[in-house]
Amino acid sequence: MGATDKIKEKKDKSEKKDKKEKKMSEEAGVKKEKKDKKEKKEKTEKLAKAVEAHLEKEGSVDPEDVVKTAEELVPFALPLADDKTHKKIYKLIKKGAKLKSIHRGVKECEKAIKKCPLRTAASPPADAPGLVIIAGDISPMDVIMHFPILCEEHGVPYLYIRSRADLGVAACTKRATSVVMLKPEGKKSSGGKEEAGDDKKVDPAEYLEAYKELVKTAQKQWNVQVEPWVKGTHPLQIEAKVKGTA
């Protein structure tokens, strides 16, 4: 092999080495870039979760903003209104919205229920301080899980319906609503022309009559659908006891 061939061979080896080092450097750069992006994404997600947890702790987040519509009803959606009662509920809520006789949303309804006096043995069932309507297609279910107990403590009858979206439409709001509380009487009008016009469209006496009728329906359905579970006399509970002793 001549001197010229040796020089050429060394040159080829040198070029191959440079190409290999360049390729390795580029691959390392790509890996580093991907790693940096991944770490940055993880930090961003971690920060977002921390901010969300802080806001929830401070009470700045409206539960309605984190609620999603579930495909199935929550397992504790009792008493559940039938189809006929669903229609009555929506009509009454629309009338109540015009008369300003409703509270909308988790926070607002929760405050309104807590303002009602605690239930006692002497409390007449006909004088219910309100009627709570709860949507059963809620996720996470924790958002509405406390309402039945809260209602029973304050003597407020309640009914579940199937659609959060329909409840929002009936309540004349632009977004879906998880809970609505109907009051027997509306807020006093400030005397504005527009409010007076709205009040004329709905007869308060007619609304009150329909409200009392729906309260009776809610109490009746509670006796049928919920009370057997409370007393332990529901057929499924009895069946479970029989199987347990067998």
For the segment 156-205, what is each residue's pLDDT rounded down to a tens digit?
999 999 999 999 999 999 899 999 999 998 765 444 444 444 445 789 99
- Is the pTM for the entire model greater than 0.75? no
For the segment 90-144, what is each residue's pLDDT rounded down to a tens digit?
999 999 999 999 999 999 999 999 999 988 766 655 578 999 999 999 999 999 9
* Cα distance between the two ends of the chain: 99
From 5-19, 144-158, 168-182, 203-217, the region with the lowest mean pLDDT = 5-19
**Which pLDDT band, with edges at 50, 70 and 90, does 43 fall under?**
low
**In this predicted structure, what is the pLDDT of residue 64?**
83
Between residues 152 and 125, which one has the greater pLDDT? 152
Measured from the Cβ of residue 161, the count of other Cβ atoms closer than 10 Å reads 23
**Cβ atoms of residues 171 and 177 within 8 Å:** yes
**Alpha-carbon span 38 to 215, nearest angstrom:** 56
Please provide the size of the chain in residues: 246
Phi then psi for residue 139, to 5 deg, are -145, 125
**In this predicted structure, what is the pLDDT of residue 191?**
45
pLDDT > 70? residue 220: yes
Domain segments of the chain as ranges:
71-183+202-242
Superfamily of domain 71-183+202-242 in CATH is: Ribosomal protein L30/S12 (3.30.1330.30)
Q: Residue 102: which H helix or E strand, with range?
A: strand 102-104
Percent of the chain with pLDDT over 90: 50
Q: Which amino acid is at 180?
A: V
The pLDDT of 28-54, averaged and rounded, is: 57
Please confirm whether the linkage preceding 79 is cis (ω < 30° from 0).
yes
pLDDT > 90? residue 83: yes
DSSP states of 110-139: HHHHHHSPPP-TT--TT--S-EEEEES-EE
DSSP states of 78-90: -SBP-HHHHHHHH
Between residues 129 and 49, which one has the greater pLDDT? 129
**Alpha-carbon span 24 to 18, nearest angstrom:** 10
**Which pLDDT band, with edges at 50, 70 and 90, does 55 fall under?**
very low
Q: Which amino acid is at 158?
A: Y
Residue whose entry in the numeric block shows the structure tokens 């929760």: 110
**In this predicted structure, what is the pLDDT of residue 138?**
93
